[in-house]
């Protein structure tokens, strides 16, 4: 059973502890949705790289997956090389396709997500990304959504490890380097919309907020072990209190 949102916490308590907190945001389904534009851009990149081979993600679990892993799975499915040079070329083709096609009117911001990041940063908490996207395409999506990229000055991305679990230590190390201080896992919160987001938090002693604005229901996210599962991040003030209050 996930925790309940608190009615309130003393403002001084939240303020005193805010600087000790690190909050890592997923992108797709958490901060925003590209409504299929991102997947379409990726498939066009595969076709541009290898010709029309009927590339499709049918039968492939996309939610929570790393872009680098999706590339490798697609290459394996079609018996194609997945060496570093081919991966780099795919990455560039995908980036160019996404930048060309992901116009602001195609992006839907998730309720309260950008506002939560802004409020956390305003109180001195560290905010960053933990996402399966490549860094370049993550930035394209955030800019297209009209979200201030300065709220996420660093992060862990889809080419930084072989699985999502590997990204959490990367994010913690980059937080330490960026802010010149250590962040304790128990004061680090991962916010995402899939069981893999929950898993990558819990595997390293971090807290997990799961939001049902992606493909999974609140009940499914609770069952997956979220410390807090919510329908959306729209109740920004209450979620802010939960994070900074130390629940």
For residue 61, the model assigns a pLDDT of: 81
Give the lowest-confidence range in 44-53, 88-97, 148-157, 237-246.
237-246
Range 21-42 average pLDDT: 96
Looking up tokens 């997990």 gives: 208
- Residues with Cβ < 8 Å from 32, sequence gap 6 or more? 107, 108, 109, 110, 113, 141, 142, 145, 147
| 182 token code pair | 């250590």
pLDDT score of 141 more than 60: yes
Range 212-231 average pLDDT: 97
For residue 216, the model assigns a pLDDT of: 96
Range 115-141 average pLDDT: 96
For residue 101, the model assigns a pLDDT of: 97
The three-state (H, E, C) secondary structure of 172-215, written as one string: HHHHHHHHCCCCCHHHEEEEECCHHHHHHHHCCCCEEEEECCCC
User: Confidence band (pLDDT; 50, 70, 90) for 96?
Assistant: very high
Number of residues assigned to the chain: 247
Range 54-72 average pLDDT: 88
171 CB-side CA count, 13 A:
33
Task: Supply the CATH classification number for the domain 11-34+108-244.
Answer: 3.40.50.1000
Tell me the average pLDDT of the chain. Answer: 92
Which residue ranges make up each domain of the chain?
Answer: 11-34+108-244, 37-104
Range 5-13 average pLDDT: 47
User: Confidence band (pLDDT; 50, 70, 90) for 60?
Assistant: confident
For residue 71, the model assigns a pLDDT of: 94
User: Confidence band (pLDDT; 50, 70, 90) for 64?
Assistant: confident
CA gyration radius for the chain?
18
200 vs 58: CA distance, rounded Å:
25
Range 139-153 average pLDDT: 96
For residue 8, the model assigns a pLDDT of: 45
User: Confidence band (pLDDT; 50, 70, 90) for 2?
Assistant: low
User: Confidence band (pLDDT; 50, 70, 90) for 10?
Assistant: very low
The conformation of residue 165, written as its DSSP 8-state character, comes to G
């Amino acid at each position: 059973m996930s925790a309940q949102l608190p009615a309130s916490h003393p403002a001084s308590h939240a303020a005193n502890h805010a600087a000790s907190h690190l909050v890592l945001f997923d992108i797709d389904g958490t901060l925003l949705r590209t409504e299929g534009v991102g997947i379409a851009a990726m498939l066009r990149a595969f076709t541009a790289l290898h010709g029309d081979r009927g590339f499709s993600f049918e039968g492939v679990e996309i939610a929570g997956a790393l872009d680098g892993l999706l590339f490798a799975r697609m290459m394996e499915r079609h018996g194609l090389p997945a060496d570093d040079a081919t991966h780099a070329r795919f990455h560039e083709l995908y980036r160019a396709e996404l930048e060309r096609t992901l116009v602001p009117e195609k992006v839907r911001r998730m309720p309260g997500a950008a506002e939560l990041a802004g409020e956390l940063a305003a109180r001195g908490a560290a905010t960053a990304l933990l996402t399966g996207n490549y860094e370049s395409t993550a930035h394209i999506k955030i800019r297209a959504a009209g979200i201030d990229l300065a709220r996420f000055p660093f992060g862990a991305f889809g080419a930084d490890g072989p699985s999502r679990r590997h990204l959490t230590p990367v994010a913690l190390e980059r937080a330490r380097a960026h802010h010149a201080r250590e962040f304790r896992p128990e004061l680090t919160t991962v916010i995402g919309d899939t069981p893999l987001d929950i898993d990558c938090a819990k595997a390293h002693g971090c807290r997990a907020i799961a939001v049902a604005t992606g493909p999974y229901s609140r009940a499914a996210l609770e069952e997956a072990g979220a410390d807090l599962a919510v329908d959306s991040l729209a109740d920004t003030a209450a979620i802010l209190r939960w994070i900074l209050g130390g629940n």
